Amino acid sequence: MTFLNPLLLYGMGAIAVPIIIHLLMNRRIKPVVWAAMRFLIAAIEKNQRRMNIEDMLLLALRCLLLILLALALARPVFRGSENGLIKGSETIIVAIDNSYSMGQTDGGATRFDLAKQAGEQVVNSLAPGSSVAVLLFSDAVRGLIPEPTYDLNLAGKVIRDATLSDRPTDVSIALKQGIDTLSRHTGGLQGIYLITDGQESGWKQMDEIQKKLRTKDVKTRIILVGNPEDRNLCVSDLQLVSSIATVGEAAQFDVEVSNYGIKDATDVAVRLSIDSESPSDEGVINSIPAGGSKRLSLFTKFREAGYHTVTGQINADHLPCDDRRTIALRANDDVRVLLVNNDTSKEPAASATFYLRNALTPAPSSEQENYFVKTKTIVPAELDSTKLSDYEAVALVDVADVSPSALEALSVYVERGGGLIIFPGAKTNPVFYNEQFAGKRNILPATLGAIRGKADQQDEFFTLQDRDYTHPIVSIWNDPGAGTLASAHFYRAFELKPVTGHTDQAGEARTILKYTNGAPAVMERTWGRGRVILFSSSANTAWNDLPLRPSYLPLIDRTLGSILVRQDARLNIPVGTSFEYVCEPEWVGKDAIIARSGKSKESNSLRRIGMVENVPLLRFDETDKAGGYEATIKADTTTVLKFAAQSDAVESNLTSLSQAQLDALAPVAKIIRWTTDTRFEEKVTKEHAGSELWTILAMLVLVVACIESVLAGIFSDAK
């Protein structure tokens, strides 16, 4: 037996009241001499035994009356089994899975539609006096009704109005929040109705889930909706392969399609489009094995500079959400690079930046002004007066050191998304870089160690690795047809000592390229929203002959491209992640109108650009749907930004929980397979393990009260 209102059991303490009154009525009194008293005493002594019995009987009835009343108000019920439902009011949590696998359809209603119908039936099956909270869950929990309410009509309405997201599933967080919510509402019957499609990937933390479900006072019902699906194709990845997306030039994209079905997929048509335009290229993947993936290269051209979205798409199937993937990027017609060095040589070819400048703008002198990459060279002293935010990248080329103010400006520049490239040389002061850039600022991916080799002894040299390139900058040389990096001779270089660990601001140091002895030749590190790339040798022919090799130009081109990719990375976020964009300072206080691609103006959102930790920032949190977004900022001139949210391809695996996994859950939760023919009121009736007793107790209270009244009257007349 259990009680729905156990606190009211303390009301049984009220039986002390009639007992106290009875004792007070029998207290000793002072005798008063009276002539006729002897006749009264004789009558009382004659009936004393009968009167004592009558008084004790009335006292017992009054105490019983109070006990029965307290029990009735505490609402006792019998529990017949661990998972049985109890007829009567409950406090429950209805948690509905709204991850994107719930968008799967068999041609009619989606799994999410079925889940909402099941949720409504649960609410409608509750007894009067029950309270309910409604949660939507994926890899995050959203409380539609975060705390239990007695308004069951409201609960039904919010379930009907619930919307699907494109986020993955994590059942454990829904259970945790449900149990935490119920722990704040003690007493009575409590339960959780978890409504989901039973997708296996959402139950990765099975041990933790089982542990949560063993909570004694909370009974959980797992309601499974939808039919198993044994086939599904998804666009699992979309990447720009070209180093830089340039206006008017063909840009190569790789579209990856994954087969999560149990059979091979054949003749898979793939299309590529820009913004909302018609497809610009298409192709066919002949075959994708079950459980495998294939990539297809497609090409497109950008006609206008600025922000664009690019979408890879396949034909629609039963899970439409993952049949397309969108990324955002910038098409460039003006990439500005600032070169910093203190070389005062009048001979151009002897300058430390000569080969680097020409690799960045590989065009005849007469056409360099029209080339999309534009360089400017300054000396270190000019850094203090230069607006670094005007440049996509800054290269320190054989710079000994910089002023404290320039060091601070470079740190802020990288933190806000800029790219910093460092080429050492004979004038480089390693102590300054190690103490200021690496030690104090923690920006560099490595410290500068001892110098290896001698520049004036070119008969002795070392070379770069010739295989096993893993970093995107150098991965093209895994194809022998792309040439080789190993032909370059290095006569002198700094030893790079990688830093270890990372922080919220500084990422892990990564090796881009190695020498044949395994020592790092080029390293990188993300820092804030930007990227730092550190070379171990010079940018010109003073310490190596790499600038004379065919591979130098694509290496520099891809290095610059990786910086632009890092800057564009902020335009692409996982579904459900906040979009943050560092704006121009003059945009602070301006409003941005944000719209989802292809949606009506009624769904637009308004966000104000503000200062966050001294950074002008546009932030947008409503990214639960995958696809492209557009932010229009009206300042002195209207600026249009585009960004995209991508769903997690893991959610495309529709494999359901196995029977063994369901059997493991059965001892701690009741598994219910729901269909449109299921009626929860009937199911609840069949599963009732007992009834509330308050109505019976209330009737007994009335009966005892009547008996007590009648006997009190009779006994009073007799006396």
- If asked whether residues 508 and 410 sit together in one domain, one would say yes
Structure tokens at 675: 């269909």
Point out the domain boundary residue: 297, 325, 353. 325
- If asked whether residues 548 and 445 sit together in one domain, one would say yes
- If asked whether residues 442 and 557 sit together in one domain, one would say yes
Task: Identify the pLDDT of residue 11.
Answer: 72
The three-class DSSP label of residue 69 is helix
The three-class DSSP label of residue 42 is helix
On the question of pLDDT at 718 being above 60, the answer is no
CATH code, 271:
2.60.40.10
- If asked whether residues 283 and 389 sit together in one domain, one would say no
- If asked whether residues 375 and 485 sit together in one domain, one would say yes
Asked whether residue 711 is assigned to any structural domain, the reply reads: yes
Instruction: Tell me the average pLDDT across 445-456.
Output: 94
Instruction: Tell me the average pLDDT across 614-629.
Output: 92
Task: Of 102-116, 343-357, 483-497, give the lowest mean pLDDT range.
Answer: 343-357
- If asked whether residues 529 and 454 sit together in one domain, one would say yes
Point out the domain boundary residue: 569, 602, 619. 569
Point out the domain boundary residue: 265, 299, 325. 325
Say what the pTM is: 0.77
Asked whether residue 330 is assigned to any structural domain, the reply reads: no
Q: Give the C-alpha separation, 13 to 30, whole Å.
A: 32
Instruction: Tell me the average pLDDT across 389-402.
Output: 95
- If asked whether residues 445 and 463 sit together in one domain, one would say yes
Task: Identify the pLDDT of residue 16.
Answer: 78
**Whose CA is closest to 439, among 399, 525, 501, 499?**
499
Domain ranges, residue 275: 233-325
- If asked whether residues 500 and 410 sit together in one domain, one would say yes
Asked whether residue 86 is assigned to any structural domain, the reply reads: no
- If asked whether residues 614 and 677 sit together in one domain, one would say no
Q: Tell me, what amino acid is at 52?
A: N
pLDDT digits (tens, 9 = 90+) for 260-306: 999 999 999 999 999 989 999 999 999 999 999 999 999 999 999 99
On the question of pLDDT at 509 being above 90, the answer is yes
- If asked whether residues 387 and 510 sit together in one domain, one would say yes
Which residue has better confidence, 228 or 465? Answer: 465
Task: Identify the pLDDT of residue 709.
Answer: 82
Which residue has better confidence, 144 or 64? Answer: 144
Q: Give the C-alpha separation, 631 to 640, whole Å.
A: 6
Residue 291 has a CB neighbour count (10 Å cut-off) of 12
pLDDT digits (tens, 9 = 90+) for 26-63: 655 556 666 566 666 666 666 667 777 777 887 888 88
Instruction: Tell me the average pLDDT across 674-701.
Output: 68
Asked whether residue 380 is assigned to any structural domain, the reply reads: yes
CATH code, 563:
3.40.50.880
**Whose CA is closest to 469, among 458, 450, 457, 482?**
482
pLDDT digits (tens, 9 = 90+) for 534-564: 999 999 999 999 999 999 999 999 999 999 9
Asked whether residue 83 is assigned to any structural domain, the reply reads: no
Average pLDDT, the chain: 88
Q: Give the C-alpha separation, 71 to 696, whole Å.
A: 10
Asked whether residue 85 is assigned to any structural domain, the reply reads: no
- If asked whether residues 295 and 382 sit together in one domain, one would say no
- If asked whether residues 73 and 117 sit together in one domain, one would say no
Residue 358 has a CB neighbour count (10 Å cut-off) of 19
CATH code, 143:
3.40.50.410
CATH code, 604:
2.60.40
Task: Of 20-24, 156-160, 644-648, give the lowest mean pLDDT range.
Answer: 20-24
Asked whether residue 164 is assigned to any structural domain, the reply reads: yes
DSSP state of 205: T
pLDDT digits (tens, 9 = 90+) for 170-215: 999 999 999 999 988 876 788 999 999 999 999 988 888 888 888 7
The total domain count for the chain is 5
Asked whether residue 242 is assigned to any structural domain, the reply reads: yes
Task: Identify the pLDDT of residue 84.
Answer: 43
What is the sign, positive or negative, of the torsion defined by CA atoms of 343, 346, 349, 350?
negative
